[in-house]
Amino acid sequence: KRGFIQCTGRRKIHAYVVKKRRSTLTFLRFFDILCMIALFFSTYFVCHLILCIRIHNGKNNNIRTFTIEMEVKTMNIASLEKTCRAVRRDIINLTADAASGHPGGSLSSVEIMVTLFFDKMNIDPADPKMENRDRFVLSKGHAAPCYYGVLAERGFFGKEQFKSFRQINGILQGHPDVKKCPGVDASTGSLGQGISMAVGMALGARLAKNGAKVYTLLGDGELQEGQVWEAAMAAAHYKLDNLTVIIDYNGLQIDGTNDQVMSLGNISDKFTAFGFQVIEVADGNNLQQISDALDVAVTGKPKCILAHTVKGKGVSYMENQVGWHGKGPNEEERQIALKELEDEA
């Protein structure tokens, strides 16, 4: 009888312990879920919120009110817009001083290149040859004035080097020279070749497993080169999802409109047929639209961003004028442009 009572008591105790343990586990699971949710949202806000703290003096001088404003932005648009104006002034000064160069296609590319170099790419001006850096290839090499302006504003070299633009032995040649200019990853200028180099870089980065991304910027007239499509075919064949091809689609080239010289047809459909994920940007001179397109994640295939831009953007007398493809402004024209490109008060 005593054994029976003891056994029954143990069963009751065991049942109580099991019940208690189950309720504790349920609570812990619920608590874990809450922690995971909290961690997710805290991480999101840390990564995507820009925290602006403004201090206002109250009526009592000894009292200060702290107002915290949180803006959900992936980048400071106002700051980048200011940088874009600075780069456009650089383009005007470079081409005016040299009395030559390509201002039209440089001005149309500004927002694309500023977004890349100031917000997206893993680069370090203090270590321009960093092994695992992201790579950029200016396939439309004649837009070098934009490239040099961006690199100078980013800190790769000082603006005193602008005097060497298109000068013998200068580091800023008429087209980018990888052996002379810090921050340049490929010598370009012969249209169609830059995208081929970018494909090789992307394939090399994959083999090296260094996580590097590769970006290349092409002009729309450049798409008339057959080599572009050979490179596109190879990029899709090797499933280079670390490669982003950006088209500066301003509709003009040296001899006229694209349709007058050699109609390009539906560019989006062409790159799609070649195996790319295509993102079309309605306003390629809008920083947010460019940023959003660059942020689109693509797996198993290369990405193509078709950015509709304005040739000569930012300078009223150059906008949509084919004559500004390849000539520098005179002094009067320089001053008019610089006046239009002044920073807003």
Sign of CA dihedral 44, 49, 54, 58: negative
* CA–CA dist 197, 222 (Å, integer): 15
Are 308 and 281 within 8 A, CB to CB?
yes
Q: How many Cβ atoms from other residues are within 10 Å of residue 171's Cβ?
A: 16
Are 198 and 140 within 8 A, CB to CB?
no
Nearest to 107 by CA among 305, 340, 345, 343: 340
* CA–CA dist 161, 169 (Å, integer): 12
* CA–CA dist 40, 48 (Å, integer): 12
Kindly tell me if the per-residue pLDDT of 65 is higher than 60.
Answer: no
pLDDT digits (tens, 9 = 90+) for 157-209: 999 999 999 999 999 999 999 999 999 999 999 999 999 999 999 999 999 99
pLDDT, residue 33, reads: 63
Kindly tell me if the per-residue pLDDT of 153 is higher than 90.
Answer: yes
The confidence band for 90, taking pLDDT boundaries of 50, 70 and 90, is: very high
Average confidence (pLDDT) over 101-109: 98
What average pLDDT is seen over the chain?
86
Of 2-16, 55-69, 225-239, which has the strongest mean pLDDT?
A: 225-239
pLDDT, residue 67, reads: 29
Share of the chain above pLDDT 90, in %: 77
Average confidence (pLDDT) over 337-342: 97
The confidence band for 344, taking pLDDT boundaries of 50, 70 and 90, is: confident
Average confidence (pLDDT) over 251-268: 96
pLDDT digits (tens, 9 = 90+) for 209-241: 999 999 999 999 999 999 999 999 999 999 999
The confidence band for 24, taking pLDDT boundaries of 50, 70 and 90, is: low
Structure tokens, 183: 């921050």
Strands (E), the chain: 49-57, 64-72, 135-138, 214-219, 243-249, 252-253, 256-257, 277-281, 303-308
Packing angle, helices 193-208 and 226-237, rounded to 10? 20
* CA–CA dist 186, 143 (Å, integer): 14
pLDDT, residue 222, reads: 97
Structure tokens, 283: 């306003």
CA 278 to chain centroid, in Å, comes to 16
Average confidence (pLDDT) over 79-94: 98
pLDDT, residue 19, reads: 54
pLDDT, residue 34, reads: 64
Sign of CA dihedral 261, 266, 268, 269: negative
